[in-house]
């Protein structure tokens, strides 16, 4: 315990140790602004609005951050985690590559383009960031089970982080999930539970268990406010890796919309803390047409997001009723950005385009983001002269089927030099 912690002691229940949530001071409702003390809560007791973390940040310098580890804990002072977070086993995600994408920029006619590549996280998606923060919260709350409902990236991340932390971990999936996707999570946990129902059924069951059982930390349910903060580290890293600067434009995939709102929040925090200079940043959201409720609302000029029934290969983006949809609309409109959507064929082409130009194999969510980037340039909604960042959230090895009909050998030859010459490859 340092003196800083003591002076900004969080208001928490007595069973929680001092400094357990760093400089977080409470939970605040995003709708009515009511506050409550820190706990495994996610809904405002006054208006049932969503809660998020409130902080009293200390002075933080670039040098302090740069002296930290090459993972998300370098930003621990800005997250709801304790100062000794590095001592607890976790997946240590983050500080992934920010690659200048000259080939893709040339292909799309952009002056300057960067890809933030989260496919190289421990379980190959950005979910490792949020799960790492949820795991810290679960530990500090003394939770006895770490859990989630999920069909994909989140399930992998929770199962892996729970294994490393040595906490009982239970992952709920729809029972009709394909075998490879089951293996990707079952490899890490003894407690993969198949539920006869669709993802909505699994999600509902998870909320019920979270309400009935003591000591269960469902990362995206009752510890969601802590979990969601992990996405801020994407924004912090982009700014630091650009040399403590903000980009002019950024394109972010939209599922629940949480990632986009948190990246926006991270940029505002860096400005408020004096870590980067303030400047306008246009924020763009990317969806697949088969699940594009936020894009539809943006296009139609609506203030509400109408739920859709998802039907797209971009399954990790297929949330028909996105919790943060209206916040995404607000941010994209306020910053001069946009939300757009593309077809599943364009998603597939986006995957191939990124791989062929930059050597990065992205999943369908990343294909969506690249495809939307291309569309935004073509429609003139994104300024090709401004410095642009695009986020790749996950790995193509997990969604191989999406492209397996699209790419393959250019030729099949006999194992002789003559056959090689005849094929005209040289």
Strand partners of residue 99: 115
Minimum distance from residue 27 beta carbon to its own copies (Å): 26
* CA pair distance 167, 147, nearest whole angstrom: 10
Q: How many residues bind its own copies (CB under 8 A)?
A: 85
Footprint (CB under 8 A) of its own copies, residues 112-141 = 117, 120-124
What mask of x and - would describe binding to its own copies in positions 138 to 157, judged by CB under 8 A? -------x------------
Footprint (CB under 8 A) of its own copies, residues 303-362 = 351-352, 355-361
CA distances from 20 to 3, 23, 136, 255, 398 (A): 14, 9, 9, 30, 35
Minimum distance from residue 382 beta carbon to its own copies (Å): 23
**Rg value, the chain, Cα:** 22
Between 81 and 115, CB nearer to its own copies: 115
148 CB contacts (<8 Å, ≥6 apart)? 154, 155, 158, 171, 172, 206, 218, 219, 220
Task: Choose, by CB under 8 A, the member of 3, 7, 63, 196 that binds its own copies.
Answer: 196
Minimum distance from residue 349 beta carbon to its own copies (Å): 12
Minimum distance from residue 204 beta carbon to its own copies (Å): 7
As given in the structure block, the two tokens for residue 98 are 């920010």
Strand partners of residue 362: 395
* CA pair distance 367, 348, nearest whole angstrom: 6
Task: Choose, by CB under 8 A, the member of 192, 251, 252, 370 that binds its own copies.
Answer: 192
Between 59 and 426, CB nearer to its own copies: 426
Minimum distance from residue 19 beta carbon to its own copies (Å): 23
Examine residue 403 and tell whether it contacts its own copies (CB under 8 A).
Answer: yes
What mask of x and - would describe binding to its own copies in positions 203 to 242, judged by CB under 8 A? -xx--xx--xx--x--------------------------
SS3 call for 248: coil
Examine residue 411 and tell whether it contacts its own copies (CB under 8 A).
Answer: yes
270: enclosing H helix or E strand: helix 258-272
Between 201 and 330, CB nearer to its own copies: 201
Q: Which stretch, 43-51, 94-102, 272-280, 320-328, contacts its own copies (CB under 8 A)? A: 94-102
Task: Choose, by CB under 8 A, the member of 8, 34, 65, 194 that binds its own copies.
Answer: 194
Examine residue 91 and tell whether it contacts its own copies (CB under 8 A).
Answer: yes
Minimum distance from residue 326 beta carbon to its own copies (Å): 29
* CA pair distance 41, 152, nearest whole angstrom: 25
Between 201 and 383, CB nearer to its own copies: 201
Examine residue 397 and tell whether it contacts its own copies (CB under 8 A).
Answer: yes
Examine residue 105 and tell whether it contacts its own copies (CB under 8 A).
Answer: no
Between 145 and 329, CB nearer to its own copies: 145
Q: How far, rounded to the nearest angstrom, does the alpha carbon of residue 258 sit from its chain's CA centroid?
A: 8
Q: Phi/psi of residue 178, each to 5°?
A: -65, 150
Q: What is the widest separation between alpha-carbon atoms in the chain?
A: 79
In 41-139, at which residue ranges do the beta strands (DSSP E only) sit? 51-55, 98-100, 112-117
* CA pair distance 389, 156, nearest whole angstrom: 26
Burial class (CB in 10 A: 0-12, 13-18, 19+), 281: buried
Task: Choose, by CB under 8 A, the member of 47, 187, 272, 422 that binds its own copies.
Answer: 187
For 171-203, give one letter per residue: b (16+ CB within 10 A) or e. Answer: bbbbeebeeebbebbbebbebbeebeeebeebb
Between 116 and 398, CB nearer to its own copies: 398
Minimum distance from residue 306 beta carbon to its own copies (Å): 26
Examine residue 64 and tell whether it contacts its own copies (CB under 8 A).
Answer: no
Examine residue 423 and tell whether it contacts its own copies (CB under 8 A).
Answer: yes
Footprint (CB under 8 A) of its own copies, residues 164-183 = 164, 166, 170, 173, 175, 179-180, 182-183
DSSP string, 201-221: HHHHHHHHHHHHSTTEEETTT
Examine residue 415 and tell whether it contacts its own copies (CB under 8 A).
Answer: yes
What mask of x and - would describe binding to its own copies in positions 17 to 56, judged by CB under 8 A? ----------------------------------------
* CA pair distance 222, 218, nearest whole angstrom: 6
């Amino acid at each position: 315990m340092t003196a800083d912690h003591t002076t900004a002691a969080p208001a928490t229940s007595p069973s929680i140790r001092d400094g357990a949530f760093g400089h977080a001071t409470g939970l605040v409702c995003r709708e009515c602004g009511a506050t409550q003390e820190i706990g495994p809560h996610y809904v405002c007791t006054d208006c049932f609005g969503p809660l998020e973390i409130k902080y009293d940040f200390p002075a933080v310098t670039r040098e302090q951050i740069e002296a930290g580890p090459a993972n998300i804990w370098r930003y621990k002072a800005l997250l709801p985690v304790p100062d000794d977070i590095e001592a607890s086993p976790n997946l240590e995600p983050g500080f992934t590559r920010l690659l200048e994408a000259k080939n893709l920029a040339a292909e799309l006619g952009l002056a300057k383009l960067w890809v933030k590549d989260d496919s190289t996280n421990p379980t190959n998606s950005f979910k490792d960031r949020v799960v790492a923060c949820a795991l810290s919260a679960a530990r500090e709350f003394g939770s006895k089970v770490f859990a989630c409902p999920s069909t994909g990236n989140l399930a992998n991340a929770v199962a892996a982080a729970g294994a490393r932390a040595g906490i009982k971990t239970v992952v709920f999936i729809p029972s009709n999930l394909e075998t490879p996707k089951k293996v990707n999570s079952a490899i890490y946990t003894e407690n993969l539970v198949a539920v006869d129902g669709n993802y909505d059924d699994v999600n509902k069951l998870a909320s019920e268990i979270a309400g009935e059982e003591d000591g269960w930390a469902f990362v995206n349910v009752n510890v969601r406010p802590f979990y969601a903060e992990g996405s801020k580290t994407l924004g912090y890293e982009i700014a630091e890796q650009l040399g403590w600067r903000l980009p002019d434009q950024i394109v972010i995939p939209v599922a629940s919309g949480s990632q986009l709102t948190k990246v926006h929040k991270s940029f505002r925090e860096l400005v408020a803390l004096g870590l980067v200079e303030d400047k306008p940043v246009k924020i763009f959201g990317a969806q697949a047409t088969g699940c594009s409720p936020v894009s539809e609302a943006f296009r139609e000029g609506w203030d509400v997001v109408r739920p859709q029934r998802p039907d797209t290969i971009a399954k990790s983006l297929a949330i028909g009723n996105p919790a943060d949809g209206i916040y995404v609309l607000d941010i994209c409109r306020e910053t001069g950005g946009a939300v757009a959507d593309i077809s599943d064929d364009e998603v597939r082409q986006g995957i191939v385009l990124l791989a062929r130009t930059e050597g990065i194999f992205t999943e369908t969510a990343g294909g969506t983001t690249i495809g939307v980037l291309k569309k935004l340039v073509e429609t003139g909604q994104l300024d090709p002269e401004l410095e642009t960042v695009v986020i790749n959230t996950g790995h193509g090895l997990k969604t191989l089927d999406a492209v397996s009909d699209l790419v393959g050998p250019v030729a099949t030859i006999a194992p002789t030099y003559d056959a090689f010459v005849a094929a005209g490859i040289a």
